[in-house]
Amino acid sequence: MTDYLHKFAALLVQLNDTERDEVLEFYREYILDAQLDTYEDCVAELGTPKQLARKVLADYSIRFNENLQDSDSSKPQKSKAGVRAIWLVVLALLSTPITIPALIVIMAILFAVAAVVFALGVALVCGLFGLTILGFGMLTAGIGVFGQSIWVACFYIGTGLAIIGGELLILPLVVWFISLIIQGVSKVVQRLYHRFVKRNRAERGGRHHEKNH
């Protein structure tokens, strides 16, 4: 039982002390009252520490993220929290036995969206990287031929500088665009989570306690 709570507590590092203590106190009391003496008893009743922690964290993260969007926090913080929310929701979905086809569909959609976003990101980064190399290549070539033909050198150096300058101009736009995509995906994921998981949670894994009837 202490093992179980230790493992559970270790998985709640993202909560602040007050919140963590409150969660732990609730489950410590619950375990004592339910007389779950062994680790196995706890798992049978509440799921593995990981499953329990994911459920608790997914619940917190979503509320946390909603609060973040209300306040006027900066973009990087937002998309960071967005990524975390997506991740936690995916983990929460994964930690539950998939009994409902809807969950499989959600996972497939999430996977497809993730693949598209990832592909876009890779393409963007590769494109920018290639342009940078081209720019610096032009600069080097320009400096290289400086001795032979000053006009050719000017052309190369000018083009190189123009490319790098252009990139620097576009960069904030690209970063803004990426964070926009992440936030959009995060919102969709949260909506899906609210729609499907929250309603099902009461049912899922709800063992009937026949002895109580």
Partner 1 sequence: MAIQISSELLDGCVLALLQTEDFYGYALTQRLQASIAVSESTLYPVLRRLKKNGWVTTYDQAYQGRNRRYYQITAAGATQLAAISQDWTTYSQAINSLLKGGAPS
Binding site for partner 1 (CB under 8 A): 22-23, 25-27, 29-30, 32-34, 45-47, 51-52, 55-56, 59, 198-209, 212-213
Name the minimum Å distance from CB 39 to partner 1.
Answer: 15
Nearer to partner 1 by Cβ, of 58 and 110: the residue is 58
Nearer to partner 1 by Cβ, of 121 and 205: the residue is 205
Which pairs with CB-CB distance under 8 Å and at least 24 residues apart come from 162-167? 163/131, 163/132, 163/134, 163/135, 163/138, 164/132, 164/135, 164/136, 164/139, 166/131, 167/128, 167/131, 167/132, 167/135
CA 109 to chain centre: 16
* Distance (Å, whole) CA 161 – CA 15: 48
Name the minimum Å distance from CB 63 to partner 1.
Answer: 9
Name the minimum Å distance from CB 137 to partner 1.
Answer: 57
Burial classification of residue 89, based on how many CB atoms lie within 10 Å of its CB (0-12 exposed, 13-18 middle, 19 or more buried): buried
Helix (H, G, I), strand (E, B) or coil at 13: coil
Nearer to partner 1 by Cβ, of 148 and 212: the residue is 212
Name the minimum Å distance from CB 194 to partner 1.
Answer: 9
Nearer to partner 1 by Cβ, of 69 and 200: the residue is 200
Nearer to partner 1 by Cβ, of 72 and 210: the residue is 210
Name the minimum Å distance from CB 199 to partner 1.
Answer: 5
